[in-house]
């Protein structure tokens, strides 16, 4: 991902792809993967696997809204890593960031360390942080709801995290932050614990295919991002791999979930 390429055509291609196609995809599909809430109290009862699609989505929307309304402030550490292997040159970078979210839409980032390609750090990682701050104001437009997505039931699975409904979803609009793929919904507390898919629309003419997987971890009463892994294939043989690890969560301020009623539907920011 170096910018020290002497051939002008190569420079133009690399710059266009990195600053447009890659940045658009990376931000769009990392920002929207916010957590969807808390795991319910365990009562020993078996989950009901015969709920209708409407019942599953309704409970998901309601519980997401309550968890988002209950979480006022939290902080975490993120480790961004990126590797690029391509026709022109290979490159990699890593950046460690402390992040703090304060409801309703304030985010603060502090860079702890950075190593590797300065281009990736300045034009990918830092641009991701800047774009994330700007887009926090439109959380409702990217929520996993019937307003934004079409849903279908794909199955019911017993996962290491517990029984889950598996739903396929496709975007209803061409919003660049939406995606198509599968979500795994915890059958007891109706929180999304895993997402696997691809962009709802192509992020750039230079990106031929992109796949991602995002997982979540339980922190106190909330499900928050655990890890993101994204692979993009680029024309002329390039391959980009981006990962983000979310660590050291601290819930600084939150309200009891049982006291939250009629909350507005939106995801919890990552």
* Residue 28 located in a structural domain: yes
* Residue 76 located in a structural domain: yes
Q: What is the span of the domain harbouring residue 183? A: 8-259
Check which CATH number belongs to the domain holding 232 and give it. 2.50.20
* Residue 121 located in a structural domain: yes
Domain count, the chain: 1
| This model's pTM is above 0.85 | no
Provide the 3-class DSSP secondary structure of residue 2. Answer: coil
Question: Looking at residue 18, what DSSP letter applies?
Answer: I
* Residue 36 located in a structural domain: yes
* Residue 268 located in a structural domain: no
* Residue 266 located in a structural domain: no
Strands (E), the chain: 71-85, 91-102, 106-116, 149-159, 162-171, 179-186, 192-199, 207-219, 222-234, 238-254
User: What residues does 256 pair with on adjacent strands?
Assistant: none
* Residue 247 located in a structural domain: yes
Residue with tokens 């031929």: 208
Q: 68 Cβ partners below 8 Å, 6+ apart?
A: 37, 139, 263, 264, 265, 266, 267, 268
Provide the 3-class DSSP secondary structure of residue 28. Answer: helix
Q: 269 Cβ partners below 8 Å, 6+ apart?
A: 34, 101, 105, 107, 136, 139
* Residue 71 located in a structural domain: yes
In order along its 270 residues, the chain shows pLDDT tens digits of 332 222 222 333 233 334 344 444 444 444 444 433 333 333 333 455 679 999 999 999 999 989 989 999 999 999 999 998 876 678 899 999 999 999 888 899 999 999 999 989 998 899 889 878 776 666 667 789 999 999 999 999 999 888 999 999 999 988 878 899 999 999 988 999 999 999 887 666 667 788 999 999 989 889 999 999 999 887 777 888 999 999 999 999 999 887 666 555 555 566
């Amino acid at each position: 991902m170096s910018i020290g390429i002497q051939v002008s055509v190569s420079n133009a291609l690399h710059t266009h792809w990195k600053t447009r196609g890659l940045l658009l995809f990376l931000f769009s599909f990392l920002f929207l993967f916010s957590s969807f809430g808390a795991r319910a109290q365990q009562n020993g009862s078996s989950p009901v696997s015969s709920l209708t699609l409407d019942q599953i989505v309704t409970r998901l929307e309601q519980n997401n809204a309550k968890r988002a309304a209950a979480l006022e402030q939290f902080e975490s550490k993120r480790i961004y890593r990126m590797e690029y292997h391509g026709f022109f040159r290979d490159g990699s970078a890593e950046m460690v960031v402390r992040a703090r979210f304060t409801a309703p839409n304030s985010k603060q980032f502090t860079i702890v360390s950075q190593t590797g390609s300065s281009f990736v750090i300045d034009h990918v990682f830092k641009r991701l942080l800047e774009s994330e701050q700007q887009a926090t104001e439109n959380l409702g437009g990217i929520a996993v709801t019937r307003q934004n997505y079409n849903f279908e039931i794909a199955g019911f699975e017993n996962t290491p995290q517990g029984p889950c409904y598996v739903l396929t979803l496709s975007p209803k609009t061409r919003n660049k932050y939406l995606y198509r793929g599968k979500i795994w919904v915890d059958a007891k507390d109706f929180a999304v614990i895993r997402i696997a898919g691809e962009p709802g629309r192509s992020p750039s003419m230079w990106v031929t295919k992109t796949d991602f997987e995002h997982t979540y971890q339980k922190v106190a009463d909330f499900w928050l991002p655990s890890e993101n892994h994204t692979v993009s294939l680029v024309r002329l043989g390039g391959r980009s791999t981006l990962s983000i690890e979310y660590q050291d969560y601290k819930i600084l301020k939150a309200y009891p979930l049982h006291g939250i009623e009629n909350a507005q539907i939106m995801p919890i920011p990552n």
